[in-house]
Structure 1
Amino acid sequence: MNVLIASLNTAIERLLLVDQQRPGTVHRLLNDKTLAGGKGVNVARVLRQLQPQLENAPAPLLLGFLGGATGRLCRELLAEEGLDGRWCEIAASTRICEVVTEQKAPDKASVYNAIGPAIQPEEYRRLWSMLAAELPRASAVVCTGSLAQNLTPDEYGRWISLAREHGVISLLDTHGAALLQSAAALPDIIKINRDELRQANAETADDLPGHWLAQGVRCVIITDGQQPTQALTPDGNFTIAAPAVATLSAVGSGDAYCAGLIASLLARPQSGWAAHLTLAAACGAANAASSTAGLATDVSLHVLQQRCAVRAVRSPA
């Protein structure tokens, strides 16, 4: 059982820790780390970490583009973590992104995301051949993150439509035009944060989740930073208050949430949505307790799940 994860704008991620950000001055780093990154990679990392902790947890398989010297470095970094992928080699170079975190204010990281490489038509066709070969063997598809240049905003919608043809669960977590156009393909799950929902369409943000559900989306999850998450599911509507942790970096917590949710859905489908949401929230909190994207090793997922507060909410009449 595996989860196919779109990684269409993979990155080398540089994590820089400073005492305090002071624009216009030279900073001496307190620490720095280099990882393979991008939202898809973050999801894969947490799924990999869940395998020894969750019986029948699915294995992650990344599918995307890599190119240039940065692409070669990314392959090496992924191999070091044991993260498998099917990669289409491209002429352009994989992007580099930076995350700058203040030691005294880790919840206020500054993220600098590069646009990403331009994908050529032949490269795109090769990726789609790989997708067509891998998708029938997948148990779920996760479409997450930004799109590299030359990919159209409905790209994830094409993945979702193909997944449906094969009876494969799909999850969408993106923003802007890619969110609106790909949501029209009706993924099983849409996960979005409150700010992205407003940015997608400020005038109709409150109406979008209900519209998606009416069209055929099974579940819409709206995270809101440290505020409770709202989940509209087949088992009813819930709010989920995540457990408090000592935050080292919140970057990647939404990706960890997606990983926990899809892992629970596949590993224990009989458990119900309240249980799935609990593991998802615990994974998001465990990520925040880590200085890098992924589950912190010094916190217990079991304890975090016990400290989650899931409350059923009556739908408005």
Structure 2
Amino acid sequence: MILTVTPNPSLDRTYEVPSLDRGEVIRATGERMDPGGKGVNVSRAVTAAGRRTVAVLPLGGAPGSLVADLLHAQGIEVAPVPVAGPTRSNISLAEADGVLTKINAPGPELTSTEEELLLETVRAQSRDASWIACCGSLPRGLAPSWYAALVARAHAAGTRIALDTSGPALLAALRERPDVVKPNAEELAEAVGRPLATIGDAVKAAEDLREQGAGAVLASLGADGQLLVEASGVWFGSARVETVRSNVGAGDSSLAGFLIAGGSGPDALASAVAHGAAAVQLPGSVMPGPADLDPDAVTVTSAVPVDRVLTEPVS
């Protein structure tokens, strides 16, 4: 079982519009409503793979109830943490030419009592977990050190933990030695405080994070592929992608694929790459199932092309 923790989940509303004209009445041509948050997406991807998952998330108000109902409808077990403030509602405006405008609400401010209840719920639910995946930004009321406290508690209970966050929360958590961290290229550059121009730059940045405490670094490099840097070696993975339809949730799908395949080594990286490549070829935030994966399109090698210039260098 893979337990996911999403401290700041959302109810995501997407409206399809012909174009976005400020100050005008715009009539949507389509709409959908989804449960949102990086950890939520990991749970959705794990469920699509036919594996068991439990999603821990603070939920409040009518939007929180809708998030729980939508997850239950997808067959996902939910361990809700009741909070006084309403769960945030995010809005996406998708124009016909592919431009996406997102409006993300701040979400509720958690009290110290709610913070402790969230930690206790994770502890109680993690007894049967092979991995805990903690993902996304922290809501108001939780200090950047909150993820560090969660990693420490998970390790004290003997559970492996994967962390997908950024900024001060990521740096603070490194001192507790999370088993896996999963930054993208921008987050990796931010963490080490320098630009990334080549795949070799990304390898060096990942090694720096390991020196600061990360057990392994699974780094998403967008269209260039993914890196895995761990104690046993360094691997680079990529995949053929015919058509990119949406990259929403692709990184979350990759993390799910990595953990499903054991969470270490080149086989797990191959699974991560396959899941990420499948996700970008599906519409919206649809998570891939086994039928969507194309393992033959994936290449994983220890001969990392360190001199290759990134398609989108990070300055």
Query: TM-score normalised by the shorter chain: which range applies?
Result: 0.7 to 0.9
Q: Pick closer, same or farther for the CA change 1:17–1:243 going to 2, 3 Å.
A: farther
Select the residue among 78, 90, 108 that pairs with 2:83.
90
Structure 1 stretches of 5 or more lacking a match?
Answer: 52-56, 267-271
Alignment equivalent of 1:154, drawn from 145, 154, 171: 145
Aligned residue in 2 for 1:313: 303
**Secondary structure of the equivalent of 1:231?**
strand
CA separation in 2, counterparts of 1:22 and 1:200?
37
What is aligned with 1:65? 58
Aligned 8 A contact 1:14 1:99 in 2: yes
Take 1:297 and 1:220, find their aligned partners in 2: how far apart are those partners?
A: 25
Over 3 Å counting, the alpha-carbon distance change for 1:212 and 1:297 in structure 2 is closer
The one-letter amino acid paired with 1:27 is I
Q: Could you give the per-residue CA deviations for residues 236-292 of structure 1, whole angstroms, max 9, x where no partner exists?
A: 2122113314222211111111111101117xxxxx722211111111122222223
Task: Please name the residue that 2:128 is paired with.
Answer: 137
Choose from 95, 112, 118 the match for 1:127. 118
Note closer, same or farther for the CA distance 1:315–1:285 as it changes in structure 2 (3 Å cut): closer
Which residue of 284, 289, 295 maps to 2:281?
Answer: 289
1:82 Cα offset (Å) = 1.3
* Larger CA deviation: 237-246 vs 67-76: 237-246
Instruction: State the match for 1:251 in structure 2.
Output: 248
Does the CA-based 8 Å contact 2:72-2:78 persist in structure 1?
no
> Alpha carbon RMSD of aligned pairs, Å?
2.3
The partner residue of 1:194 within 185, 203, 223 is 185
CA shift for structure 1 position 98: 2.1
1:194-239 deviation line (CA, Å, top 9, x unaligned): 1122234533875542233234533112212212222213442122
Structure 2: segments with no counterpart, 5+ residues: 307-315
Seq. identity, %: 27
Task: Please say if residues 144 and 168 of structure 2, whose CA atoms lie closer than 8 Å, have aligned partners that are also in contact.
Answer: yes
CA contact (8 A) 2:14 2:32 kept: yes
Q: Letter of the aligned partner of 1:9 in structure 2?
A: N
Counterpart amino acid of 2:30?
N
Please give the TM-score of this superposition, normalised by the length of structure 2: 0.87
Paired residue for 1:16?
15
Cα distance in structure 1, aligned partners of 2:64 and 2:228: 37
Q: Deviations over 1:167-193 (max 9, x none)?
A: 211111111111111122211111100
Q: Which amino acid aligns with 2:280?
A: A
C-alpha deviations, 1:83-102, integer Å up to 9, x for none?
11211111100001123333
Aligned ranges for residues 41-120 of structure 1 at < 5 Å?
Answer: 41-51=40-50, 57=51, 59-105=52-98, 109-120=100-111
Aligned counterparts of 2:133 and 2:290: Cα–Cα separation in 1: 27
Flag the 1:141–1:27 CA change in 2: closer, same or farther, 3 A. Answer: same
